[in-house]
């Protein structure tokens, strides 16, 4: 098949977007390598003794309430028989490249979101009579046949709805939201399905009597901005199924960072400050390959406390030094004033010379 490069300037209401998400990817690769692990609770993550966290887990493990970002120790409490493996990132990258090679057969307009997730724009594709649904089906079939990995897909007119759809029938699902179905689908959509709506935002929305997008539509733009600031405008748009973002084949790095989880909690601010030098040395080494082309615009410190709450503090500065990082660390630590399990430091980076400033990416 010959892929056709779509027109990224196509109006939103004529776009055909596919969101593809591999099912429990790291665990799926491990189960291919070790078929005897298929039907037992399995997770890929760090050692419980070293304060590790779960990267991903298979569906038998999820039945015990285990999920990504959970501490490995907690996962083992929920499921003592859990098979916990450290993983093989080199192998995961090999399989991911095979999967993305399949995607490239159908379009050149691909936006990788992570190692196992991507958006595809097939708006102008002539393949399979231009049917985004049939293209998604063909991709899923080819990936399964060639790698053994199952991929869930969502098909819609924009990135927001395509992502929601890909999660709708997991695992190994295909959900299509046609233009005729869109208004009704969005109205019934729980607000917790909106990207960026975490537990705290959901709790705040519930306090406003909002549990679905239909109820969210009843709030004015000004009301949402008053309650949620800049994110309020985004909520107003997504509640109506509106998302004008294009599928972008290139995302400029906007930050560089490093972080460390400690095997024993750092008990106080002084012990946190003692870790700054090592963190800054690692950060400087990571920044070295960007030094010639990217200017430092700001500094950020991240603190995660022993109750798993976290906070960040940042400032604008083109001249990083330990005193500034120490000041930010002190500011962040005093917000929780309790033992610390993780520290991170980072730089905000400016655009490359001659290029417009790109979309901001998360630092950590």
Q: Which residues are catalytic?
A: 117
Distances in Å between the Cα of 222 and the Cα atoms of 152, 226, 342, 363 are: 37, 6, 37, 29
- Rounded Cα gap, residues 97 and 92, in angstroms: 9
DSSP string across 187-199: HH-BGGGSTT--H
307, with CB counted inside 10 A (0-12, 13-18, 19+), is exposed
270: left (phi over 0), alpha (psi -120 to 50) or beta: alpha
Contact, 158 vs 243, CB < 8 A? yes
Check whether 21 is labelled as a binding-site residue. yes
Q: Is the peptide bond before 171 cis (omega within 30 degrees of 0)?
A: yes
41, with CB counted inside 10 A (0-12, 13-18, 19+), is buried
Check whether 265 is labelled as a binding-site residue. no
HSE of 18, CA atoms in CB hemisphere, 13 A: 31
* Pair of tokens at residue 194: 């909106």
Distances in Å between the Cα of 97 and the Cα atoms of 29, 37, 91, 94, 308 are: 13, 24, 10, 5, 34
CA-based diameter of the chain, in Å?
65
- Rounded Cα gap, residues 134 and 201, in angstroms: 37
The arrangement of strands across the sheet holding 310-316 comes to 255-266, 340-349, 296-305, 310-316
- Detail the residues annotated as belonging to a binding site: 21, 116
Residues of the binding site for Mg(2+): 21, 116
């Amino acid at each position: 098949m010959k892929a056709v490069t779509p027109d990224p300037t196509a109006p939103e209401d004529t776009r055909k977007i596919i969101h593809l998400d591999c099912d429990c990817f790291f665990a799926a690769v491990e189960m291919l390598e070790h078929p005897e692990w298929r039907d037992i609770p399995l997770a890929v993550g760090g050692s419980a003794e070293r304060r590790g966290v779960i990267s991903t887990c298979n569906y038998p493990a999820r039945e015990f309430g285990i999920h990504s970002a959970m501490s490995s120790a907690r996962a083992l409490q929920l499921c003592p028989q859990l098979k916990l493996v450290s993983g093989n990132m080199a192998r995961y990258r090999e399989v991911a490249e095979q999967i993305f090679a399949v995607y490239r057969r159908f379009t050149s307009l691909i936006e990788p979101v992570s190692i196992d997730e991507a958006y595809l724009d097939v708006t102008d594709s002539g393949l399979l009579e231009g049917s985004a649904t049939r293209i998604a089906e063909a991709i899923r079939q080819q990936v399964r046949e060639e790698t053994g990995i199952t991929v869930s897909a969502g098909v819609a007119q924009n990135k927001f709805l395509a992502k929601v759809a890909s999660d709708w029938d997991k695992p190994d699902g295909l959900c299509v939201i046609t233009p005729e179905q869109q208004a009704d689908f969005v109205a019934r959509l729980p607000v917790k399905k909106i990207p960026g709506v975490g537990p705290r935002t959901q709790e705040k929305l519930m306090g406003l009597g909002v549990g679905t997008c239909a109820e969210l539509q009843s709030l004015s733009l000004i009301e949402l901005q008053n309650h949620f600031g800049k994110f309020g405008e985004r909520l107003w748009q997504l509640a109506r199924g509106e998302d004008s973002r294009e599928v972008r084949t290139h995302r400029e790095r906007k930050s560089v960072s490093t972080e460390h989880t400690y095997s024993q909690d750092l008990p106080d601010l002084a012990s946190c400050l003692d870790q700054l030098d090592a963190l800054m040395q690692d950060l400087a080494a990571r920044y070295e390959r960007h030094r010639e082309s990217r200017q430092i615009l700001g500094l950020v410190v991240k603190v995660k406390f022993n109750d798993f709450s976290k906070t960040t503090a940042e400032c604008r500065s083109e001249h990083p030094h330990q005193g500034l990082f120490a000041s930010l660390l002190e500011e962040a630590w005093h917000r929780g004033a309790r033992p610390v399990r993780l520290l991170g430091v980072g730089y905000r980076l400016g655009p490359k010379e001659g290029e417009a400033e790109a979309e901001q990416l998360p630092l950590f």
